[in-house]
Amino acid sequence: MLERVAIASSALCLLAACGGAGNSVKTGGVEYDTSLPEAAEPGQERDAPEISRGIGVPGGVVVLWPRIVQPRSDSAAPDAPTRAAAAQLQKRIAGLVARELPGVPVDMRPEPERVCPRSGCAGASVGVLLSRSGRGGCVALALVSGSGTSPARLIPWAGMVRLDNATVPFREPPESQVHVKDNVDCDKIEVAALAHDAEVVAAIRTALGK
């Protein structure tokens, strides 16, 4: 089912760790949580489960757990099918690196490790922005960064989107730059991503300086 939706940083719930003392807003009659758990105080960051415990190695790739966004009214946390779709996309990224860039070390991080530490990762990092509507529709973008605190490049992967900017500063919410035009069926999102695998691989090559 296709659905027109718009994503803005002030109108989405980052459900990997919602439920903190964040702000909330209403857009189109729907309430969203705007808290960003990875923006913790420096002394608290080591305890934030969203922070990657692995930073990879120079010349390698850290494949982060996807960022999942959905309306707060849908549920308190991503449901099993949404998390399964996220896991499929993460594995697909790791598989693309192994197939297209043989010999490049890959560190695939477990749920919910979806962001590099404040000092960045030692290698390039690749995440996924997975946006789920309330009616079974999804959109996915690959988030590709170089080492350290490099900005993330947004690569549309499944579904149709319009980007305000093709990059976002390190650790800034990428959804602030994304406007979803058409979703794809969440159950078929990996198949929908096939058509744009080449763009994702090309961005990873650039991030690695290849």
Per-residue confidence at 70, pLDDT binned at 50, 70, 90?
Answer: confident
Q: For residue 50, give the nearest of 111, 123, 121, 119 by alpha carbon.
A: 111
Per-residue confidence at 134, pLDDT binned at 50, 70, 90?
Answer: confident
In percent, the amount of the chain with pLDDT more than 90 equals 70
Average the pLDDT over 150-157 and give the result: 98
Question: Of 79 and 41, which is predicted with more confidence?
Answer: 79
Average the pLDDT over 114-137 and give the result: 93
Per-residue confidence at 190, pLDDT binned at 50, 70, 90?
Answer: very high
DSSP assignment, residue 13? E
Q: Is the pLDDT of residue 35 over 50?
A: no
Query: Over the chain, what is the mean pLDDT?
Result: 82
Q: Could you report the per-residue pLDDT of 158-174, keeping only the tens digit for each?
A: 999 999 999 999 999 99
What pLDDT does 73 receive?
61
What pLDDT does 102 receive?
96
Helix (H, G, I), strand (E, B) or coil at 1: coil
Give the sign of the dihedral formed by CA 55, CA 57, CA 59, CA 64.
negative
R_g of the chain, CA atoms, integer Å: 16
**Cα gap 65→110, rounded to integer Å:** 6
Average the pLDDT over 65-91 and give the result: 87
Question: Structure pTM?
Answer: 0.80
What pLDDT does 23 receive?
41
What pLDDT does 92 receive?
97
Q: For residue 151, give the nearest of 116, 104, 188, 192 by alpha carbon.
A: 116
Average the pLDDT over 116-133 and give the result: 96
All structural domains of the chain with their residue ranges: 9-208
Q: Which DSSP string do the residues of 108-170 spell out, in sequence order?
A: EPPTT--B--TT-BSSEEEEEEEEE-TTSEEEEEEEEE-SBTPPEEEEEEESEEEES-SEE-T
